């Protein structure tokens, strides 16, 4: 680093939640943990997917949801970001866009309390897990169509949510657009989290040479769901540098963009990528075996 370049480090805090069905109670719980993260020196704080509400009953969900400009959780968290002078990344809010449609939207708030980025979850969790758990996220939510990056101080981050984690092309596109930190606030199910969470998050970090920050929901929720927890901070070499358990709380780490440069210098897979076609193998007929005689 030359003397003209400024050091790029950031103290980050990830808040783990067990969001319930009442937005006012959820706001109290998340606010206390955001304050704790800021008191521990975090300049950027991330909360998980669906920070405002987790409610499986669609009718009751829509009774509680508001449009972005009327959402009381968002208004209160903008005030809190301004008071604490932090970058506050709400991993997502469920926000109404019409009587029966919503968006699953991540919102980045700057230290002045202004909204600096919005990202609507692109990949909808429409799956049958085979253990009785089924999800049809697209039944209530309108998917986003744009990948989004934003700058936190001078550090470019990429915004994604939960099930997006399974689509690596999104992370590559964000890294190619300059992201050095990839964010994956989540509410993973327990069985898929146990099987895939650490591997997928570490893979995204290794493939892109970027930090991965993933605040998680964890434990048994009021709505009957169980989520995996284990909020994770992964460095650009794929090492887990901070990890949560199952209960609500905060994990913290200092991230340093020199680590991004060093991982990308050692393994330049981000710049060594090639375009290619996929060809079907030509039929070769029956394999001819020559008999060998001694």
Ligand X SMILES: O=C(O)CNC(=O)[C@H](CS)NC(=O)CCC(=O)C(=O)O
Which residues are the active-site residues?
49, 121, 162
Angle at 188 between CA 208 and CA 20, to 5 degrees: 135
Stretch that binds ligand X, among 30-38, 63-71, 159-167, 236-244 (CB under 6 A): 159-167
Nearer CB in complex with ligand X: 50/110: 50
Would you count residue 50 as binding ligand X (CB under 6 A)? yes
Would you count residue 90 as binding ligand X (CB under 6 A)? no
Nearer CB in complex with ligand X: 64/116: 64
Binds ligand X by CB under 6 A, chosen from 44, 119, 171, 188: 188
Would you count residue 222 as binding ligand X (CB under 6 A)? no
Q: Compose the 135-154 pattern: x for residues touching ligand X by CB under 6 A, - for all others.
A: x-x-----------------
In the complex, minimum distance from the CB of residue 249 to ligand X, in angstroms, rounded to a whole number: 19
Residue 9: count of CB within 10 angstroms of its CB: 15
Nearer CB in complex with ligand X: 73/84: 73
Would you count residue 187 as binding ligand X (CB under 6 A)? yes
| CA-based torsion, 99, 22, 231, 68: positive or negative | positive
H-type alpha helices, the chain: 23-39, 58-64, 72-84, 168-176, 190-208, 257-266
Task: Report the C-alpha gap between 106 and 150 in whole angstroms.
Answer: 12
Would you count residue 162 as binding ligand X (CB under 6 A)? yes
Would you count residue 237 as binding ligand X (CB under 6 A)? no
- What pairs with residue 224 in β-bridges? none
Nearer CB in complex with ligand X: 140/251: 140
- Residue number, nearest CB to ligand X: 192
Would you count residue 211 as binding ligand X (CB under 6 A)? no
Task: Report the C-alpha gap between 124 and 104 in whole angstroms.
Answer: 9
Stretch that binds ligand X, among 22-30, 46-54, 231-239, 286-294 (CB under 6 A): 46-54
Task: Report the C-alpha gap between 227 and 232 in whole angstroms.
Answer: 14
204 close to 236: Cβ distance less than 8 angstroms: no
Q: Is 30 helix (H, G, I), strand (E, B) or coil?
A: helix
Residues 97-126 that bind ligand X (CB under 6 A): 125
Stretch that binds ligand X, among 62-70, 95-103, 184-192, 276-284 (CB under 6 A): 184-192
Backbone torsions φ then ψ of 192, nearest 5 degrees: -75, -30
Would you count residue 49 as binding ligand X (CB under 6 A)? yes
Per DSSP (E only), the strands in 83-133 are 87-96, 102-109, 115-120, 126-128
Return the H-helix or E-strand segment holding 134: strand 134-136
- Where on the chain is the footprint of ligand X (CB under 6 A)? 49-50, 54, 125, 135, 137, 162-163, 166, 187-189, 192
């Amino acid at each position: 680093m030359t003397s003209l370049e400024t050091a790029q480090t950031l103290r980050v805090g990830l808040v783990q939640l067990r969001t319930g069905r009442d937005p006012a109670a959820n706001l109290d719980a998340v606010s206390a943990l955001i304050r704790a993260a800021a008191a521990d020196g975090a300049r950027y704080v991330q909360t998980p997917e669906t920070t405002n509400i987790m409610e499986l009953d669609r009718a009751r969900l829509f009774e509680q949801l508001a449009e972005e400009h009327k959402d009381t959780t968002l208004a209160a968290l903008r005030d809190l970001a301004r008071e604490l002078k932090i970058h506050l990344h709400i991993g997502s809010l469920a926000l109404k866009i019409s009587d029966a449609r919503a968006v699953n939207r991540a919102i980045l708030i700057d230290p002045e309390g202004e909204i600096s980025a919005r990202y609507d979850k692109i990949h909808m969790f429409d799956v049958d897990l085979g253990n009785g758990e089924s999800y049809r996220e697209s039944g209530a939510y309108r998917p986003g169509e744009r990948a989004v990056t934003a700058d936190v101080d001078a550090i470019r981050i990429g915004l994604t949510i939960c099930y997006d984690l399974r689509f690596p092309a999104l992370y590559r596109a964000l890294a190619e657009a300059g992201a050095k930190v990839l964010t994956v606030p989540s509410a993973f199910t327990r069985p898929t989290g146990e099987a895939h969470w650490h591997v997928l998050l570490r893979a995204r970090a290794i493939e892109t040479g970027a930090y991965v920050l993933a605040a998680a929901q964890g434990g048994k929720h009021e709505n009957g769901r169980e989520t995996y927890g284990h909020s994770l901070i992964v460095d650009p070499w794929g090492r887990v540098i901070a990890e949560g358990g199952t209960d609500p709380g905060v994990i913290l780490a200092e991230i340093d963009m020199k680590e991004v440069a060093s991982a990308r210098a050692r393994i330049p897979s981000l710049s060594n990528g090639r375009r290619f076609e996929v060809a079907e193998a030509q039929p070769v007929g029956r394999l001819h075996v020559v008999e060998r005689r001694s």
